[in-house]
Chains A and B, each alone.
Chain A
C-alpha cells in the first residue's frame, strides 16, 4: 500500500499571528516494501511530514493517500489506517503506559476487538519479532526495563496490530551501542522477513547509511534530496550547508580518496572500505 503525498502544505497555529509554515509543497511516493531513511536538522519538518503518513496530521492543503485512502476524507477509517501504518516515537515513555510488557503489547490487538486467544498469539509473535523472550518479559514491569528493552516493547506494541508500514522516529536516540545494534537488527529483520515497509527517521547518518536504500533529506519544510543513499551522501558540501554530516566511514573514505588512494568514496560498508584500503596498500608493496 503505497503512500502518496502531493502538494502537501502545513502550518502550525494557522490563522493566528504565530502562524509558522512547517511543510511547503511536499511531493513524494513510498512504495510497498521500501526501506527509506528520512534525515534533516531539528525543526526541519521531518516528524510533521511523517506524522501525515498515518493521519496523526491531516493536510491543510494537498493530499496524502495511503493505500488509496485519502486521509482528509471525512469517511476514511483512520483507526484502521493507523493500524496499517504503525508509528514508533522517539521517547518510549510517551508510548508505553501499561504496568507490564505483556499488557502494553496487548493493548492494540485488544482494541481491535480480537478474541483473547488471538490477542495472546499476536503478543507472542510480536515479542518474538523484537527478540523479547516471552517467558522472561511478559510480566516484567515497564520500569524494570533498560532503554533498549523499552524501545523493543514499544515496537512490539505497534507490531501486534500487524502493520504493513512502520514509521520509526529516531528510536535509537540515547541508546548505548549494543542496544542500538539490537534495534537495527530488529528493523532489518522486519524488512527482510516480514516485508514491512520501513520509514526510518534518524539523526544518525551512519544508521541511515547502513539501513536504507533511499534517503529523503528534509530542510526547512522542503524536500532537499530524494535519491539513492549513494547519490545523497555523495554531496558532502550541500549536506553540511543544511547542517548534516557524512556517515563517519564515508568521511574517512573521502579523506583517503583526496590523499590519492584509489577508493570509491561512495562505498558505505565497512568490509568494502577495509578491502579497498588493503588493495591500495598491497598494490604499493608490489610496486616496491
Chain B
C-alpha cells in the first residue's frame, strides 16, 4: 500500500530573507503509513510542529514536496481535498473551539463541507458517541474541563471523517486523568475507526503506545523505528533532549547489573512479568 503522506527533501525556513531567518526543516524525507500510529518526538524547537503543519498544507515547502494520498500540498487546488483527509488537533483546545454549544462546535466542520443537514446530524452523533461525549452535547465548551474540551476538539475533527488526524501535544496541559482519557480515545480511534494518527509528544509514556516513532533534532530526522528499537539504541535518544520510559530505564540499569532481560521492554507490565519469571 502506498504511504498516506510522503515528504521528499522537504525544507522550510521562517522569516526567509530576513536576518532572523530560522531554518526549521532541512531536507526531510519521511512517510506516514496508512492506519499506523506514528509518534513524532524531539525537543522544543526541533521542527516537529513545523513538519506536522506541512501534512495538511497549513505550511507549504520552500523546497522539496509533500504528497498526501498522492496529491502535492504545493498545488493550491489540492488543499481542500487534503484538509478533508488530514485533520489537526492543537495543544490548547481553546484555540480550536468556536461555538458556544458542544454539538454545534462539532457540526462546524461538516457544515462547512456543505453537507446536507441529515448527514451533518449523523456525523455529529457518531463523533459524540465515539468519544463518549453524548451527555455533554448541549453544554457550553467553557463549562467543560480541559480534558473534555480537548475531546470536543477531537470530535470536531472526527466529524470531518478524516483519514488521518495530526495531534500536536494534545495532552501537554491536561491533568493525569484527562491525559489518560485523551490517549485512550486516540488509541481507540486508530483501532476501531482505522484512522491514521500522528502524535507529536514529549511524553515517552505516550510514545510507547505508538507503532513507530521519529526523533527530530534541528530540523532533521535523526532516528526512525519502533519505540523498542529506538529506546535501546545506545541511549542516543538522550543526546536529542529526550528520555526513556520508566520501564526501559529500569531495564537498562538491571541489565547493566547482569540481570537477564531482553532489549525490547518498554511497558511497565512487560518488565513486571519478566521479573516475576526471574524471581
Chain B interface size band reads: 35 or more
Assess whether A175 is in contact with B44, with CB atoms less than 8 Å apart.
yes
Assess whether A43 is in contact with B145, with CB atoms less than 8 Å apart.
yes
Name the residue among A178, A240, A274, A280 with the largest chain B CB count within 10 angstroms.
Answer: A178
- Which chain A residues numbered 235 to 260 have a C-beta less than 8 Å away from chain B? 240, 243-245, 248-249, 251-252, 255-256, 259-260
Is A224 part of the binding interface, using a Cβ–Cβ cutoff of 8 Å?
no
Min CB distance B5 to A, Å, is: 24
Is A195 part of the binding interface, using a Cβ–Cβ cutoff of 8 Å?
no
Assess whether A148 is in contact with B269, with CB atoms less than 8 Å apart.
no
Q: Number of A interface residues, CB 8 Å?
A: 41
Q: Contacts A42-B147, A284-B279 known; A179 to B174 CB distance under 8 Å?
A: no
Is B172 part of the binding interface, using a Cβ–Cβ cutoff of 8 Å?
yes
Q: What string of 1s and 0s marks CB contacts (under 8 Å) between A38-69 and chain B?
A: 00111100000000000000000000000000
Assess whether B204 is in contact with A281, with CB atoms less than 8 Å apart.
no
Assess whether A245 is in contact with B268, with CB atoms less than 8 Å apart.
no
CA distance A175 to B145 in the complex (A): 22
CA distance A170 to B174 in the complex (A): 11
Is B161 part of the binding interface, using a Cβ–Cβ cutoff of 8 Å?
no
Q: Contacts A174-B172, A245-B180, A274-B254 known; A259 to B272 CB distance under 8 Å?
A: yes
A-B complex: 4 closest residue pairs judged by Cβ atoms? A178-B241, A243-B177, A176-B43, A147-B44
Please name 19 pairs of A and B residues whose Cβ atoms are closer than 8 Å in the assembled complex, sorted by A: A41-B176, A173-B172, A176-B42, A176-B44, A176-B202, A177-B242, A178-B242, A179-B43, A181-B243, A203-B175, A240-B177, A243-B178, A249-B246, A255-B268, A255-B272, A256-B272, A259-B276, A261-B279, A281-B278
B: residues with CB less than 8 A from A are 20, 42-45, 91, 145-147, 169, 172-180, 202, 204-205, 241-243, 246-247, 249-250, 253-254, 257, 259, 268-269, 271-272, 275-276, 278-279
